[in-house]
Amino acid sequence: MRTMRNVMTLAVALFAVVVMLSPPVVRAHEQETFVSWDVAYQYIDFTTVPVFIENGNRHVGQVDAAGNYATIQLDTGDRLVVEYSFKYIGEKERRGDLFWVTRLGLDFGTIGRYIEFVDPVVRPREWIGGSSFAFLPGQTYNATLVLRSLQPTLRHLHVGVAVQDVGNIGAAPTESPIPVGGPILYGIWTDAKGSVVEPLEGFNVDVGSFGTLKLLEPWPWAVTGLVAQIVIGLGFIIIMYGYGRWEKKRGAAT
């Protein structure tokens, strides 16, 4: 038994040494085979490579000369801003939307989504919330996503657009002819450390005359309302109980 433990201890030690001496893992993004790229290229042209911004540091979401993507080190709760541009080249107006995706899909929370209309009419950046918006033929759009890291995971993060009646189109270079398996997606690796956080934990919201309320904490008026409902409910139960006893006594007397 002691010999077996010694062997296992030695094996674990050797494995740790091998891991420490091994070269860094290549973190390359895959090609997306679920997108019909010949159709996608008829509707969307991504005009710039997405830029991922954390704490003022800008990371370009494109493969380097060695075939790797940058890795952003994050703490859970940190915010990540993603900026990218695309042109809608479809022949008729359609509704569209912005999206981000990781393989798990629960690693970030969406704090804000913004869109800027570039041409033919320049308009300031607008907050679009959770709604879709119109894709106009020939229009170029600057998109901004504000994300919050939620889980301690190593994930590859992609962004893109969704087009009505067409589907989700991940941000990727327009290539002709289309490579086998499709183009290599634009993206970045994110390596988050820390405990799991809620998407809006600790965020303050300005509600005008009501002041500033902190999300995910009991609001004073909500607590007061809850207490009032409990008191009213207990009072109603006591009154009905007393009324029942009175009716019972009255029935017995007659």
Alpha-carbon distance 213 to 208, whole Å? 10
156, 144 contact by CB (below 8 A) = no
More confident residue, 46 or 208: 46
| Region for 5 from its dihedrals, namely left if φ exceeds 0, alpha if ψ lies in -120 to 50, beta otherwise | alpha
Alpha-carbon distance 165 to 135, whole Å? 12
192, 74 contact by CB (below 8 A) = yes
More confident residue, 131 or 197: 197
Each residue of 85-139: pLDDT tens digit? Answer: 999 999 999 999 999 999 878 899 998 899 988 865 666 778 887 788 999 999 9
Cis peptide before 177 (omega within 30 of 0): yes
Query: How much is the pLDDT for 7?
Result: 40
- What residues pair up with 44 in beta bridges, in sequence order? 88
Determine which of 19-28, 107-116, 144-153, 216-225 has the lowest per-residue pLDDT on average: 19-28
Question: Which residue ranges form the domains of the chain, and what is each CATH number?
Answer: 27-193 (2.60.120.570)
Closest alpha carbon to 103 in 148, 152, 153, 62: 153
Token pair recorded at residue 35: 């997108």
Asked whether the predicted pLDDT for residue 29 surpasses 70, the reply is no
Q: Which residue has the tokens 């993004």?
A: 29
Whether the model clears a pTM of 0.85, i.e. scores above it, the answer is: no
184, 158 contact by CB (below 8 A) = no
